[in-house]
Amino acid sequence: MARSRFQGSGPSQRQLRVGELIRRTLSEVLQGGHVHDPELNAMSITVGEVTCSPDLKVATAWVLPLGGKDREAAIAALARNRGELRRLIGRELTLKYAPDLRFRIDETFDRMDAARDLFGSETVRRDVEAEDEGEDGGEAR
């Protein structure tokens, strides 16, 4: 069973709002090439989600490089430029503290592909069609 990104009863509205603001800002910074690292600027990185700790001092960015290739290199480049990214995000947002950034690979895209493959398989398609035929028979009277 996969672990949830959130602990306890789930994130507060404030955590969700701040996480989304950081996600948008981080995406813009990475897309705009505002970081002084040619290796990082050469990568196209998708920021899928940002989760924040309850005190908003730690933000975990769930990222994936374009095509899912060179994941380790992308995480290393982001970690190497963490201070500059934190400074750029802190300048854009009006938070009391700029959160410490952590970067993790976003596996949700892989899980979506696996689910799409599963639903596209012949066995599942046959079962769904059989179920649909069973429902139609019960409705027609």
Residue-number span of the structural domain to which 81 is assigned: 13-106
- The answer on pLDDT for 31 being more than 80 is yes
In this structure, are 40 and 95 located in the same domain? yes
Residues 17 and 35 in one domain: yes
Question: Do 66 and 120 lie in a common domain?
Answer: no
Q: Does 55 share its domain with 118?
A: no
Are 37 and 82 found together in one domain? yes
The domain tally of the chain equals 2
Kindly state whether residues 96 and 114 are assigned to the same domain: no
What's the pLDDT at 1? 39
Same domain, 62 and 101: yes
- Tokens for 22, please give them: 């950081």
Question: Is 1 part of a structural domain of the chain?
Answer: no
CATH of the domain at 88: 3.30.300.20
Residue 135's pLDDT band (boundaries 50, 70, 90)?
A: low
Within a domain: residue 84? yes
Q: Are 48 and 73 in a shared domain? A: yes
For the segment 40-83, what is each residue's pLDDT rounded down to a tens digit? 999 999 999 999 999 999 999 999 998 778 899 999 999 999 99
Residue 4 placed within a domain: no
Q: What is the pLDDT of residues 53-64, one digit of tens each?
A: 999 999 999 999
* Whether 117 and 85 share a structural domain: no
What is the predicted pLDDT for the residue at 122? 78
pLDDT at residue 56, rounded to an integer? 93
Q: Are residues 86 and 115 in the same domain?
A: no
- Separation between Cα atoms, residue 44 and residue 41, nearest integer Å: 8
Q: How far apart are the first and last CA of the chain?
A: 44
List Cβ neighbours of 119 (8 Å cut-off, separation of 6 or more): 125
Same domain for 120 and 58, yes or no, is no
Radius of gyration over alpha carbons of the chain, in Å? 20
